Amino acid sequence: MKLSDKIYVAGHRGMVGSAIVRKLVKEGYTNIIYRTTKELDLRNQQEVNNFFATEKPDYVFLAAAKVGGIVANNSYPAEFLYDNLLIQSNVIHAAYMNKITKLLFLGSSCIYPKFAPQPLKEEYLLTGELEPTNEAYAIAKITGIKLCDSYRIQYGCNFISVMPTNLYGPNDNYNLTTSHVLPALLRKFIMAHNKQEPTVTIWGSGTPMREFMHVDDLADACLFLMRTYNEAGFINIGVGYDISIMDLAKLIQKTVGYEGKIITDPSKPDGTPRKLMDVSKLNSIGWQAHISLEEGIRQVYEEAKNFNCNWSYA
């Protein structure tokens, strides 16, 4: 990749897309293009085709997607499947039609079977049933992987796929209805600390294990792979270690300085028991994560505490 190459970041306002833009700017890339949803609806094939025909990007980071936590996935499965299928199909096909140099498609660790062996190796894809609470999203992302591989096989397109672990960082979603677990817990502890509430309730039993990566590490990995990786299939991106939800809650509690009690709510779903990515493939080609979970949480806490006054306490 030359610093002057035209690079399209789809989903630049999201947590992942904005991190990729920050990384590209930091590295000196000067020809980055993007559009807001109002300017370009990626679900509309004609709009996408017109955009690619006009702009002719050299490289594409496909980070645009409809995303959310357990509640959102359970409540809007049709939207998660339909919107994501349209977004990725339109962008991937337009990239092929306009002969771009390379495309990187971002998936999710939820593509793996619910009870797959741990840690999750790339070859475990499609070896068992999916977690029901995010099945629609997972099916869409699996389709994206297969679509990239199919265009590679049939047309020779250099389309690669990466599967990030659970992410957090700047521009995260703190809506308690649609957010993922880490930002939801951070918001809960900040609110409880500010209101001096005696308890904070966490969903489920607190026993599920999760791996968390700062989104700036993901952006660094994506640029590394865009520069160096050209294989079919997909590659995991993660930190290589996990933590229980209860221990995560305790770490956030310590960071925020909250002195109350943590209560579990077993009536709420736990989701997949464990999701730890096997990152030996990524490590073997020369990339490792750099931001520890403790340091990463401290960073996002400093950001989140400055705007929590706008949150509803209902």
- Per-residue pLDDT tens for 241-300? 999 999 999 999 999 999 999 999 999 988 778 889 999 999 999 999 999 999 999 999
Strand partners, 208: none
- Residue 125's contacts (CB-CB under 8 Å, 6 or more residues apart) are 111, 112, 142, 145, 234
Report the SS3 class of residue 265: strand
Phi-psi region of 182 (alpha: psi -120 to 50; beta: other; left: phi over 0): alpha
Phi-psi region of 190 (alpha: psi -120 to 50; beta: other; left: phi over 0): alpha
Superfamily of the domain at 181-209+242-274+292-308: UDP-galactose 4-epimerase, domain 1 (3.90.25.10)
Fold agreement between 7-168+212-237 and 181-209+242-274+292-308: no
Give pTM, 2 decimals: 0.92
> What's the rounded Cα separation, in Å, for the pair 81 and 139?
7
CATH class of 7-168+212-237: alpha beta
- For the chain, the structural domain boundaries read 7-168+212-237, 181-209+242-274+292-308
Q: What is the pLDDT of residues 107-166, one digit of tens each?
A: 988 899 988 999 999 999 999 999 888 899 999 999 999 999 999 999 999 999 999 999
Cis peptide before 183 (omega within 30 of 0): no
What does pLDDT average to over the chain? 93
DSSP secondary structure, 31-59, as one string: -EE---TTT--TT-HHHHHHHHHHH--SE
Q: What angle do CA 40, 36, 61 make, to 5 degrees?
A: 85
| Amino acid occupying residue 240 | G
Residue with tokens 């502890």: 189
Cite the active site residues: 137
pLDDT for the residue numbered 307: 60
Report the SS3 class of residue 102: strand
Q: Which residues belong to the annotated binding site?
A: 11-17, 106-109, 141, 164-167, 180, 188, 203, 210, 270
Banded pLDDT at 217 (limits 50, 70, 90): very high
> What's the rounded Cα separation, in Å, for the pair 152 and 161?
11
Report the SS3 class of residue 167: strand
Banded pLDDT at 104 (limits 50, 70, 90): very high
Does residue 202 register a pLDDT over 50? yes
Does residue 45 register a pLDDT over 70? yes
Does residue 30 register a pLDDT over 70? yes
Task: Show the tokens assigned to 44.
Answer: 């509309």
Q: Which residues belong to the annotated binding site for NADP(+)?
A: 11-17, 106-109, 141, 164-167, 180
Does residue 186 register a pLDDT over 80? yes
pLDDT for the residue numbered 133: 86
User: Which of 117, 163, 139, 81 is CA-nearest to residue 272?
Assistant: 117
User: Which of 215, 174, 300 is CA-nearest to residue 15?
Assistant: 215
pLDDT for the residue numbered 131: 87
**Straight-line distance from the first to the last Cα atom of the chain, in angstroms, rounded to the nearest whole number:** 48
pLDDT for the residue numbered 180: 81
Task: Show the tokens assigned to 177.
Answer: 């209805």
pLDDT for the residue numbered 313: 37
Ordered strands of the 59-62 beta sheet: 32-33, 7-10, 59-62, 102-106, 159-164, 234-237
Q: Taking a C-beta distance cutoff of 8 angstroms, is the pair 296, 233 a contact?
A: no
pLDDT for the residue numbered 185: 94
H-state helical runs in 30-160: 45-55, 70-75, 77-97, 135-155
Residue with tokens 């980070």: 63
> What's the rounded Cα separation, in Å, for the pair 189 and 209?
20
pLDDT for the residue numbered 309: 43
pLDDT for the residue numbered 312: 45
**What's the chain's length in residues?**
314
> What's the rounded Cα separation, in Å, for the pair 148 and 110?
18
Q: Taking a C-beta distance cutoff of 8 angstroms, is the pair 212, 185 a contact?
A: no
Q: Which residues belong to the annotated binding site for substrate?
A: 188, 203, 210, 270
